[in-house]
Amino acid sequence: MLAAATLLALVACGHAVEQSALHPAGPQARKVSDLWWFALIVSTVVYVVTIGALLWAAWRARRREHAGAPLPPDSERRMTRAVAAGVGATVALLLVFFVYDLSVGRTLSPPPGGDPLTINVIGHQWWWEVQYPDTTPHGRFTTANEIHVPVGRPVVLLLTSTDVIHSIWVPNLAGKKDLIPGYTQSVWFQADTAGVYRGQCAEFCGHQHAKMALVVVAEPPAEFQRWLAQSRQPALPPTDSVTRRGQEVFLTGPCVMCHAIDGTPAGSNVGPNLTHLASRRTLGAGTLPNTRGHLAGWIVDPQRVKPGVWMPPNQLAPRDLEALLTYLQSLK
């Protein structure tokens, strides 16, 4: 009971970052959260009754022992009745729980009605590739580690992986689903309130499993459409000598071996697509805030931030680094 009270007190306090199954922001997570509170209350009652019976039995037996009193004559029958009642109650409660659980499962698993937005998410060691498909080639684009969705519209994520098994989990919105190489799975959710919801890989995937996060940005439909239109644009050509130099560093250095910037010859998809890098919130898959200083640190020595990450350290002349940073920061 004390434990349950502590639990209640602790879950009540909020966090700066939204990553909790107990603060649902959509119908999927809400139904599960309701199921959890129901299960917690029933379990607490069951636990208190069981442990109470145990302690009472020990106390009674001890007192009887001290008093030298014999067992009641019909004790066998009473024990049989008590155990049978306990088993009966267990079966009944489990049945109730099972039916409730199936009903929740039934409402959550069918694909959503209406006009869902479909997004492809591809797991990589240790980042998320996010593709927005479209019927026209111009409408398609690829980004990373950040999923924008409109509020109030169901979203279907089609999930797969190119290397090992990952699992996508944004607890405020929905339960997790594995990204398995060779399989395509789907998960759907809907954000009812605008906000930034953090999620994290939930299937152990190697060295940097701990730093493989993403954010889901749920925004009002108009804002989402603006973001969509912006993201569909290729990167603007550099306008001044510094950014031109920066692009040159990018295209002639190691960066281009792994990263793509639409609108330039850089087209590799080994690492995250950087076309609109400057508009993203984080670096290194949710590891660092996207600031100039962090970007510089990440480019020069990513192993310091995420030991074991596939991106190598890059020794650049200070002027080249400055130009590269300016160029990358211009990619809004």
Q: Binders of other proteins among 59-78, rule CB under 8 A? A: 60-62, 65, 71, 75
* Candidate list 202, 256, 258, 296; residue touching other proteins; CB under 8 A: 202
Contacts 24+ apart (CB under 8 A), 131-140: 132/228, 132/231, 138/232, 139/232, 140/232
User: Is 92 an interacting residue with respect to other proteins (CB under 8 A)?
Assistant: no
Type of residue numbered 89: A
User: Is 156 an interacting residue with respect to other proteins (CB under 8 A)?
Assistant: no
280 close to 290: Cβ distance less than 8 angstroms: yes
- Distance of closest approach, residue 200 Cβ to other proteins, in angstroms: 6
Q: Which is nearer to other proteins, 48 or 257 (CB)?
A: 48
List, in sequence order, every residue forming a beta bridge with 168; answer none if it has no partner. Answer: 177
- Contact positions with other proteins (CB under 8 A) in 18-57: 19-22, 29, 31-32, 35-36, 39-40, 43, 46-47, 50-51, 53-54, 57
- Distance of closest approach, residue 330 Cβ to other proteins, in angstroms: 28
* Candidate list 208, 247, 275, 330; residue touching other proteins; CB under 8 A: 208
| Total interface residues for other proteins by CB under 8 A | 84
- Contact positions with other proteins (CB under 8 A) in 121-140: 125
Place of tokens 């990589």: 124
- Distance of closest approach, residue 138 Cβ to other proteins, in angstroms: 32
Q: Which is nearer to other proteins, 190 or 200 (CB)?
A: 200
213 close to 241: Cβ distance less than 8 angstroms: no
Q: Which is nearer to other proteins, 10 or 222 (CB)?
A: 10
Q: Phi, psi at residue 84, to the nearest 5°?
A: -60, -40
User: Is 304 an interacting residue with respect to other proteins (CB under 8 A)?
Assistant: no
User: Is 58 an interacting residue with respect to other proteins (CB under 8 A)?
Assistant: yes
Among the candidate windows 2-10, 149-157, 229-237, 246-254, which touches other proteins by CB under 8 A?
A: 2-10
164 close to 206: Cβ distance less than 8 angstroms: yes
Per-residue binder mask for other proteins (CB under 8 A), 268-297, x = binder: -------------------x----------
- Contact positions with other proteins (CB under 8 A) in 217-256: none
DSSP string, 244-286: HHHHHHHHHSTHHHH-B-TTSS-B--SS---TTGGGSSEETTT
Q: Can you tell me the distance from the alpha carbon of 203 to that of 123, in angstroms, rounded to the nearest whole number?
A: 11
- Contact positions with other proteins (CB under 8 A) in 158-187: 163-165, 167, 169, 171, 174-178, 180-183, 185
Q: Which is nearer to other proteins, 83 or 229 (CB)?
A: 83
Q: Which is nearer to other proteins, 52 or 220 (CB)?
A: 52
Q: Phi, psi at residue 215, to the nearest 5°?
A: -125, 145
- Distance of closest approach, residue 168 Cβ to other proteins, in angstroms: 9
Place of tokens 């990358």: 328
Q: Can you tell me the distance from the alpha carbon of 134 to that of 120, in angstroms, rounded to the nearest whole number?
A: 11
Report strand pairing: 282-283 vs 146-150.
Answer: unpaired
Q: Which is nearer to other proteins, 166 or 276 (CB)?
A: 166
User: Is 101 an interacting residue with respect to other proteins (CB under 8 A)?
Assistant: yes
Contacts 24+ apart (CB under 8 A), 296-304: 296/321, 296/325, 299/324, 299/325
Q: Which is nearer to other proteins, 202 or 242 (CB)?
A: 202
Is the link from the previous residue into 127 a cis peptide, with omega within 30 of 0? no
219 close to 197: Cβ distance less than 8 angstroms: no
User: Is 206 an interacting residue with respect to other proteins (CB under 8 A)?
Assistant: yes
